[in-house]
Structure formats: structure tokens, C-alpha cells
Amino acid sequence: MNVPRCIVAALMSCSFSAAAHAHIASSGFLVANVAGADVTGSIEIAVLDVELAVGVDANRDNQITWRELSDGAPQLARYLSEHLAFTAQDGGLGVACRLSFQAMQVNDRVDGSYAWLPFTAQCPLAVRDLGIDYSVMAGLDPSHRGLLTLTAGRVVQTAVLGGAAEHATFSVFAPSRWRAFVDYFHAGIWHIWSGIDHLLFLLSLLLPAVLLRNGGRWEPVPEARPALISIFKVVTAFTLAHSLTLTLAALDIVRLPSRLTESIIAASIIVAALNNIFPLVTESRARIAFAFGLLHGFGFASVLADMGLPHGARLISLLAFNVGIETGQMAVVLAVMPIIYALRAGAFYRRAVMPWGSAAIAALALVWLVQRAVLPG
């Protein structure tokens, strides 16, 4: 990819010399920004189309000068107010917005010079759905189209106006950032509660937190403090790791194939569970939590990718999703911790829950691993 050329090309595209033009079908460029009850923006019509529509070549020498064009500005504004209209739609009813044009300027585009007219349209009520009637060049050039760029808040929509459909309606209701936060927060919690694989991984790391490894045997912790510290370390490491990769993946900085991450997530559960039965790592389970947490982050990201991040509220939604995951996770930790702390001293916990519970988790994860890594699709 020859990026420098593209950049040069892009930079040049704002000023085409008068000699170099390409031929494209007649197009108008309509830019509109909606804020509350006000629509502001600009409309650009090719100078050739201005001549066709209102006739500005006063001396009939087949050349349109700036003087001729600016003298024709009032006629053009009148023409445009007859062929461009905004309405604030409310239910089935449309209420007309009052359109006025400001001083004309010139803009050079790929196929020649354009008359550029800024406008404001004041609507009687806040715009939720914006109706646009566009019939510029109707009857003069049926192939004319208006290329619309509509911005509301941080949401940008584009559309093609004119032709057979002179009327179009656009929803400009921008989701509030608070609404986006709440939606994605819920999605985060729901994902951790319904995504049993992340919970089982966490559980595998939590089970031994209330025990100590001593001379090849599990012994209950004498007091709550070391257990709490151990759990705190594991949860923090897991959270840091998956937040990091979730952010990188959600912002499209890093991407892994989902089949690979899903398989490794399953493998991570097997490793964590087997480590409870045949302990290799007993002191620094936080490191396991961190290492595999990185991969779980990619798993969360694929959920988020399926949902998409809303325009204009990407970062806040990403944060909300992450906070939702943490909240869901903490709720599980708070529910499990007192139970395993109470059970830690009994033989049932050390002889049955630890080995057989972990074995069951490992077996389930093995099934997932086979499903995800080996089976097609």
C-alpha cells in the first residue's frame, strides 16, 4: 500500500485546479447538523447546475464569473427554498422548519466549481425524526442526486436524496451517553453470569484460596486475612489482564481469531482445575490468572464485537461493559467466598470439593476444548 500517495491525493482533493476535472453525474452535497430544534449546515450545487436552474450567465458569453454567480445568489436561494425543505417529524405529522440561507461562497470539487450556501433551519420543536424534501434539479436533470451527510450529536449518517424519492426521513435520536452506559453495564453483568466458562475459570482459582499447601497436603488457612489477600490478588490480576485485552480488541488494535481464543479459554480452565488436583503452582496463582486473563479479555471482546459499540459513545460503552463484567464477577466472588471459607476446615472440602469439583470442571472444559478446537465450524 502506497500510503503516502493516498495522503497526498487526499490533501490534493480539496483543491482541484480549474484545468483538471472529471465528469460525474450531477450531484449536490448537503451537510446538515441537528442540535435540538435547529438544523444548520450547507448545500453545494455545481455552478453548471445553478445556471441550468436559475440562469446566471447575464452577459450570455457562456462563462460564469464569480460576479455573475454572486449576483444570482438571491434567485438561487429562492430556488433552493422551493426545492429543499426540512420538517421535524412527530409521529405521522411533519412540522415545517423555517429555512434561511446565508452568504454564498465557492467550493472546488472533482467536477468543477460549486456554489456553497450555508443555511439554518429553525424547527418549532426538538427534532427526533428529521424529514428532508429534496427536489433540486427536478425536471431539469432527473439524474441529479443529493448526497447527504447528516450529523446528530456524534452520530453521522449518509444517504442519497432525490430521484424517485423526493422525501426521506431520518431518525436523529442520539442515544444519551447515560443510556449507553446503562445498556452496556447490563450487558457486561449478563455476559459474566451467562458465560459459565469465565466463572468456572475464576472458581478454579478461588477454590484453593482458602487452603494452604503444606508438605504435599492441603491445610485450611488459619484466619481470613491470607485467604482474602489471595482472592484479592487473583481477582485483580484477572481483571487487569482481561480489561487490557478487551480494550485493545474492542478498539481494533489487536485481533485474534475467535476460534483460537475460545479454545485457549477452554484450555485455561483445564489447566487451572488440574492445578488444584496436581498442584504445580501454589503460591502465585495470580500469575496464572493474569496470563489467562489476557485471553479471556479477547473472549469478552468477541461478545462486544457482536453487539457493536454505539457511534459517539464508544469509549463510555466499552468502560460500562468492563465495569459490568467486574461487577458480575465481584458478585460471584462475594457469594462464593463465605461458603468456601466456612467449609475449608472440613474433610469434605479438601477431599471431595477440591479434587472432584476440580476434576468435574476440567472434564467439562475438555468437552468445550474438543468442541471449539477440533469440531468443524
Of 4-43, binders to another protein (CB under 8 A) are: 5-14, 16-18, 20-27, 31, 42
> CB of residue 38 vs another protein: minimum separation in angstroms?
20
Bridge partners, 120 (sequence order):
40, 100
* 112/110 Cα distance (integer angstroms): 6
Q: Which one of 84-92, 271-279, 299-307, 330-338 is the stretch in contact with another protein (CB under 8 A)? A: 299-307
| Residues 247-276, mask of contacts with another protein (x by CB under 8 A) | -----x------------------------
**Residue 366 in contact with another protein, rule: CB under 8 A:** no
Q: Which one of 85-93, 122-130, 158-166, 356-364 is the stretch in contact with another protein (CB under 8 A)? A: 158-166
Cα dihedral sign for 159, 94, 128, 82?
positive
**Residue 225 in contact with another protein, rule: CB under 8 A:** no
Contact 51, 68 (CB under 8 A): no
**Residue 107 in contact with another protein, rule: CB under 8 A:** yes
> CB of residue 174 vs another protein: minimum separation in angstroms?
9
Q: Which one of 85-93, 225-233, 304-312, 333-341 is the stretch in contact with another protein (CB under 8 A)? A: 304-312
Directed axis angle between helix 196-206 and helix 314-343, to 10°? 40
**Residue 374 in contact with another protein, rule: CB under 8 A:** no
Contact 269, 365 (CB under 8 A): yes
Residue type, 319: L
* 5/126 Cα distance (integer angstroms): 44
Q: Which residues, 6 or more positions from 247, have their beta carbon under 8 angstroms from its beta carbon? A: 297, 318, 322
> CB of residue 258 vs another protein: minimum separation in angstroms?
10
**Residue 164 in contact with another protein, rule: CB under 8 A:** no
Q: Which one of 135-143, 213-221, 223-231, 270-278 is the stretch in contact with another protein (CB under 8 A)? A: 135-143
* 319/300 Cα distance (integer angstroms): 13
- E strand or H helix at 181, and its extent? helix 177-194
**Residue 165 in contact with another protein, rule: CB under 8 A:** no
> CB of residue 196 vs another protein: minimum separation in angstroms?
23
* 219/210 Cα distance (integer angstroms): 9
Residues 84-103 close enough to bind another protein by CB under 8 A: none
**Residue 305 in contact with another protein, rule: CB under 8 A:** yes
Residues 37-76 close enough to bind another protein by CB under 8 A: 42, 46-48, 51-57, 60, 62-67, 69-70
Question: Grid coordinates representing 301?
Answer: 471482546
Report helix, strand or coil for 161.
strand
Site size for another protein (CB under 8 A): 82
| Residues 138-157, mask of contacts with another protein (x by CB under 8 A) | -xxxxxxx-x-x-----xxx
Closest C-alpha among 196, 177, 187 to residue 322: 187
